[in-house]
Amino acid sequence: MQITKEMPINEVLRLYPQTARVFVKYNMGCLGCMGATAEPIESGALMHGLDINEILKELNKIIEEQNPY
Read off the CATH number of the domain in which 23 is found: 1.10.3910.10
Asked if residue 2 is part of any domain, the answer here is no
- What confidence tens digit (pLDDT) does each residue in 32-63 have? 666 566 789 999 899 889 999 999 999 999 99
Asked if residue 29 is part of any domain, the answer here is yes
- What confidence tens digit (pLDDT) does each residue in 3-42 have? 999 999 889 989 999 999 999 999 886 656 665 667 899 9
- Select from 28, 33, 43, 39 the least CA-distant residue to 19: 28
Whole domain around residue 25: which residue ranges?
9-66
Asked if residue 1 is part of any domain, the answer here is no
Number of separate domains in the chain = 1
Asked if residue 36 is part of any domain, the answer here is yes
The whole-angstrom distance between residue 19's C-alpha and the CA centroid of its chain comes to: 7
